[in-house]
Structure 1
């Protein structure tokens, strides 16, 4: 902008000098020759052409100022959204810390009241949780680095837009270069679209795994409650059997004592025999109940072992999915490196185009040593012609393609954040 203002000021000074010369020549050569009048008319025509070019340059400066204001406004909006995202991330981290403390307290209470098998399972789950936490921290650091790189890419794209606006017009020699640039931008857009589709697929698979893990946890809770009920019922039945055995022994002793009495007590003996028979049948029934309960207990234990194996297989599958997520992250990093290299190549091509266009549109002038003002005026006119020769359609197409690439970048960042939230929810469930 400062260079343009300096050029505008220089053009105004040249215009004033030509106007002063024209006025001086008209007063000094009022009765002169026709050749002097012809020279004055040529100078006045040049001054009028310079004034027209200055007006065109002012109009272009006004349009560029409006575009700069629009870009500043868009940059402020992006900064505000970035600050909002950072604040949400901080709240998420505090919430995760609270969940982690609550989980530790729950583990301590469970260790004090559970069996050794459940304690061993809890230790394995704690190990898996620590691994997931470490992976979460590494993902967060990589996401921060990706956000910083994205900001640098945005600044570089803005600088490239400014260079494209201030660059000179394109010619037939650069049509092939522009087509190659458009094809490269389309290829990068297709790669980004493919990456977004892959991330969406991974998100759906993670949701399916999450539902399976919830079902496994529910089945485990149901089995634990059922085992507790069976153990309580078994203890009650064992107590009842022990009491029946004790009563049976006492009655057998009583019957043996009654056998030593006289025949007058035969009726009482019959009654005792009937009670003895009833007690034996009751004993057999209780033994059958105990046997059925033991079979049920063994069946529930087998079901618990099967559920544990299924749960471990689900955890292994989840670890495999996490490894695939890491692979996808490495692929996205490689794609970002490709974007950086392509961005550098685009910048080099634009610089090469600028140098060629500057060499093609500013031809050397064979002027006399005393015509410095004429040289400056011609250079200003050439610069204004270079700015007016810009192919607006092609530059607008390049601008739209760069905006689409930026939108694809933002969508990829949003997908990565969604994957991070899903991983945090899985860790909370574990």
Structure 2
């Protein structure tokens, strides 16, 4: 009988050596004193060192069995690698030992650092903008805001900034504002942009606050990139709104007094010498600023008195208005000067008054201005009639 030779059965140590030798992660075995007894090719690649250089050297990191830790590895070329380290207890060559596995996470950490840097840069850009910026996800939740948005909340009495910050439901806030506030209309436009039905959405809305009524323009565009969402900018247009209101008021007044102005110019031509007419063509604001301010002050007093009479439902005094018209005639004020006085008074009151009161000022001021025009016309007619009478008597 021919004896059959059998291969010796691999030991547990042989199996362990085979596994760690071919493992894609780095593997280092150290004895109880921390001296390196074995490392695989993946560990050599991670450390950028030959195994012969490290064999017999002390492993230079603290080791805690069963825990994970991230370590920075300095390579010979001066570069750092980041590895996730785990430590297990094993038996190696008949002695207690530790198996250290090192998974290279350098690329992942570099990508995370680049992402954090990009996000920080994006936030820095947002915070550099003066417009209030809000970024929403596809569900309408806030995912980013800038400092201007948070400061707007503080100025308008928002004590819980989390209610308007990251994580808040912007769509729910719009829906809860109720009809007549503009919230539902804004929500409909925002959802249309999100659904791709609109390229962008713009909307103007009022916003009451401690500083009075303010107006804002909302502009929403899709979020560009892999993530769906919206970028919303809020711009304060209160000054533009007030300026437009005053400009519209001025145009309406000019239309109303155009015929009267032509009549008064004709009266002036009759009642003044040509040299005087030429010298008084400049607006009152330019040729006599002190008297312009005095007229503005008296006009403001009449305006306030008219508003008080409106509130208390009492007749407004007419004598001060006639006296102001005659006084303006004595300083050769023209219809355009009355319009300048009226508009300046409106500008001063448009700064800190709510819309309803400002509207009352406009309505009462328009009536005062027209009546004042009448008194001024009467004054010039009387001068013209006197001048004509004196000429006829001569």
Q: Which has the higher contact order (CA 8 A, sep 6+)?
A: 1
Fold match (TM-score > 0.5):
no
Structure whose residues are more often helix by fraction: 1
Which of these two proteins has the greater Rg computed from alpha carbons? 1
What TM-score, normalized to structure 2? 0.29
What TM-score, normalized to structure 1? 0.27
Structure whose residues are more often strand by fraction: 2
